[in-house]
Structure 1
Amino acid sequence: MRRSRLLALSIALATALSGQVQARTGDAPPPPQTGQLQGAPWRIDLPTRWNGELVMLAHGFEPAGTPREAVWPANDATAALLKAGYAVAQSGYASQGWAVSDAIADTERLRQQFLAAHPRTRRSWVLGFSMGGAVAIATLERYPQHYAGGVSLCGANLPGEVLAREMLTTLVAFDTLFPSAPGLPADGLVSTPAGTLAQQALYPAIDAAVQSRPALAATLATRLQVPAEQLAGTISLHALIWHDLVRRSGGVPVGNRDAAYAGFGDDAAFNASVRRVDADPAAQASLRRQLGLRGALQRPLVIQYNRDDPTISPRFEGVYTALAARAGATPPPTVLPRAGEGHCGFAESDVVRALQAVPR
């Protein structure tokens, strides 16, 4: 859609807005507005009857190299949010991978564009799924003045160093328990050559290794708090994220030189043989700048997880709430009971309820 047409439509909508509800003849919502901002594709959807409120929606992890559609697609929750009366603006990110830093900037640029065209917007919310949950929280921490509150659903709500340390633990554990796995580099998943492997090569090799030694696989699955049948997928995902964090940080961002591991069977033997790596100070500082979370909330936040999520393990769930408690977040995050099965397995109604549960 040409910019002049977009501006004309936006001005007309803003002018027609009266009170809380913008009336529109007919039942069909207007077509989405789409485009690009500094390399990030975006879309804006307006409901048939707008309540005057905006949801900035942040999507999850998109592996590097994933083909993108010509027009940025709507998140599955978009229809339910539109039906509830919200406008929905969502951005693809300027880069793929663990692109939290880019996502925060891209989301903010799109928010500014929306508000310029719709200056009578009453309230704005930020809502994210999976990696987008961390985007939503970081956005709420950095730009509290722009939002009434936020929602993190099935979120990886972890500061960058915690996330990187968890990924490193998974990879060194696999390399220790399944050394010299066929199809993988001799130095294992932590090695630089492993970062060049595509998912199509990475997953089958990991899966074959864990299938070859089921007892060790069960130990590793229990320690990582994932179902045994999801173990290979979890390890391959952690490998993708780890190597993306290394690339973005310009080096190894966390180390394990002094880590004392437990829960991997014979812990003494494991700690004696596990690979040790050192953090690069510059990379560590870069990770802190890009993916820092402080817990110092000034706006209400709702967090909700799924049941039996193989991606967001139970040990992840308390990290941000503890961080917020230490920082004296006002108000503290509201954690809703788990809903839905698997990673981000929410019903559309769950998403709307979570947004409406944000304290007003």
Structure 2
Amino acid sequence: MRFRSTFAATAGLAAMTAMLGMAHGATAAPKPRADAPHEAACPKALPAGTQCFSGQDMHGAYYWIARPKNWNGTLVVHAHGGPRISKPKPDDPVEDLERFAVTVQEGYAWAGSNYRRQGYGVRMAAADTDNVRRIATNLLGTPDHVLLHGQSWGGNVAAKTAELYALDWRGHRNYDGVVLTSGLLGGGTKSYGFRADLRAVYQYYCHNHPRADEVQYPLWQGLPKGGHMKREDLEARVDECTGLSKPKDERTAEQAKNLANILAVTHVPEKTLVAHLAWASNLFQDIVWRRLDGKNPFDNSKTVYSGSDDDAALNKGIERFSADPQAVRLMAYDSDLTGQIALPTITLHAKNDPTAFVGLEAIYRDTVDKAGNGDLLVQNFSDEAVHSKLSTPEYAALFSAMTAWIEKGDKPTKQSVAALCEEKRKTYDEPCKLLPDFTPKAE
């Protein structure tokens, strides 16, 4: 998989004064209001005796906090994935609290925000993540340690949170360690280019997104301004062109050919083809129209596509588009990572992650190394092909390894994390699939 380097750009004055999500035409922020934490019924996945609290911060973001009966004194602040396109609801954080119940089961307190609004905006989400840290600390008392955890897009959010809020105004640590799992660690400018490629490749073969009799628009827009597309409509179009939902022997020759070409050129897994197209539609629409004032951050003007049954025809006929420099600057300023980390950081990524490809870890490693902070980063990989939730004992091992690193100065290795996982699997009836000898490459 190729991760686009054409987006890399230094944030200039224009970017600093017009942050993503604050650009002209962006949706206005909710009116400030606050709802102090109040006790709530805990999800059933949490241990007996756990206390749960929910509320809404002064920016309108809903949050949940959980404190186990056997709290070990460490708080885990969680940044969720997405970005979610639907309007935030009070119980949104419960989904992540249940998914990562292992943190509470291991004795950690947990706090998570659903962010103040839907849609893209890494700095916005980072501010809301740090805000829930303050709320949880005020509620629970000063923890012995505070860990920052981000999953998926939340990995980008957590990594940015660590860059922006690791220290307070006095130079004291707000956090003690960072755990990033299945992270979108290329930032916005290096993580989404393949989805722009996918839109262009898909349209070349399928011609139905948009259809010829529909409003025509540049594919980088995702959807036209104000346009709407339901997931089932997109699924129907993909099925019409590729027979994706049908058994292989029930697809027409044309459908089989289209699907084979799309997958071969883009390297997108078949099982997540619709998901990636959905992000390249609705999320791109949010990014372009609500965050970038209609400007284009994507570029395939010089891309040479390969792997199809006729590469010459594909490269001649595919829709081309060039990125707007200001859009790239804004996107980079909002979401790209600098590698300027001050905290111990552990990552975990599935080797065959079908959503955030494992090569993103190589990009992050290179970014951190170039900033001179490679000694603070330990990366781990697993023999899995999932994204949203990896094997439970692997998370337990990561947090235990981080605690030992903080308290004893025992920097973990891939081998020591794998050994910890084997210990944790005695508690959790799930396998350990860590790969101590694997290191990915950026493609």
For normalisation by structure 1, the TM-score amounts to 0.84
63-72 or 42-51, larger mean C-alpha shift: 63-72
Q: Which residue of 2 aligns with 1:227?
A: 269
Is the 2:163–2:340 Cα contact (8 Å) retained in structure 1? yes
The Cα offsets for residues 278-315 of structure 1, whole Å up to 9 and x where unpaired, read as 22233222212211211222212111122543212344
Pick the aligned partner of 2:200 from 167, 172, 175. 172
- 1:57 alignment partner AA: H
Pick the aligned partner of 2:69 from 44, 48, 52. 48
Taking only the aligned residue pairs, the percentage that are identical comes to: 24
Q: Which residue of 2 aligns with 1:126?
A: 148
Q: Which residue of 1 aligns with 2:182?
A: 154
1: CA distance, partners of 2:89 / 2:35: 21
Q: Which residue of 2 aligns with 1:276?
A: 320
Distance 1:141 1:4, change over 3 A: closer
Question: Structure 1 residue 340: deviation in Å?
Answer: 4.3
Q: SS of the residue aligned with 2:287? A: helix
Distance 1:316 1:90, change over 3 A: same
The Cα offsets for residues 311-337 of structure 1, whole Å up to 9 and x where unpaired, read as 123443422112222222242421212
2: CA distance, partners of 1:302 / 1:335: 6
- 2:196 alignment partner AA: L
Distance 1:110 1:181, change over 3 A: closer
Is the 1:297–1:330 Cα contact (8 Å) retained in structure 2? no
Q: SS of the residue aligned with 1:337? A: strand
309-318 or 179-188, larger mean C-alpha shift: 179-188
2: CA distance, partners of 1:125 / 1:204: 43
- 1:157 alignment partner AA: L
Is the 1:131–1:155 Cα contact (8 Å) retained in structure 2? yes
Is the 1:218–1:228 Cα contact (8 Å) retained in structure 2? no
Q: Which residue of 1 aligns with 2:341?
A: 297
1: CA distance, partners of 2:127 / 2:80: 14
Q: How many residues align?
A: 341
For residues 145-294 of structure 1, the aligned pairs below 5 Å read 145=167, 146-180=174-208, 185=214, 186-187=216-217, 189-191=219-221, 192-193=223-224, 196-211=228-243, 213-247=255-289, 248-250=291-293, 251-294=295-338
RMSD: 2.8
Q: Which residue of 1 aligns with 2:126?
A: 104
350-359 or 221-230, larger mean C-alpha shift: 221-230
Distance 1:207 1:190, change over 3 A: farther
Is the 2:63–2:90 Cα contact (8 Å) retained in structure 1? no
2: CA distance, partners of 1:234 / 1:166: 9
Distance 1:356 1:240, change over 3 A: farther
Q: Which residue of 1 aligns with 2:440?
A: none
2: CA distance, partners of 1:67 / 1:124: 26
1: CA distance, partners of 2:374 / 2:400: 19
Structure 1: tracts of 5 or more residues without a match: 7-25
1: CA distance, partners of 2:279 / 2:204: 18
2: CA distance, partners of 1:74 / 1:174: 32
- 1:249 alignment partner AA: L
2: CA distance, partners of 1:229 / 1:285: 33
Is the 1:203–1:233 Cα contact (8 Å) retained in structure 2? no
For normalisation by structure 2, the TM-score amounts to 0.69
308-317 or 284-293, larger mean C-alpha shift: 308-317
2: CA distance, partners of 1:68 / 1:5: 16
Q: Which residue of 1 aligns with 2:391?
A: 347
2: CA distance, partners of 1:231 / 1:67: 26
Is the 1:154–1:306 Cα contact (8 Å) retained in structure 2? yes
Is the 2:265–2:308 Cα contact (8 Å) retained in structure 1? yes
- 2:315 alignment partner AA: N
Q: SS of the residue aligned with 1:213? A: helix
Structure 2: tracts of 5 or more residues without a match: 1-33, 40-46, 168-173, 244-253, 407-443
Q: SS of the residue aligned with 1:357? A: helix
1: CA distance, partners of 2:386 / 2:140: 37
2:113 is equivalent to residue 91 of structure 1: yes
174-183 or 96-105, larger mean C-alpha shift: 174-183
Distance 1:120 1:232, change over 3 A: closer
Query: Which structure is richer in relative contact order (CA contacts within 8 A, separation 6 or more)?
Result: 2
Is the 1:183–1:205 Cα contact (8 Å) retained in structure 2? no
Distance 1:332 1:174, change over 3 A: farther
- 1:53 alignment partner AA: T
Q: Which residue of 2 aligns with 1:335?
A: 379
- 1:111 alignment partner AA: R
- 1:163 alignment partner AA: S
- 2:204 alignment partner AA: T
Q: Which residue of 2 aligns with 1:21?
A: none
Question: Structure 1 residue 187: deviation in Å?
Answer: 4.8
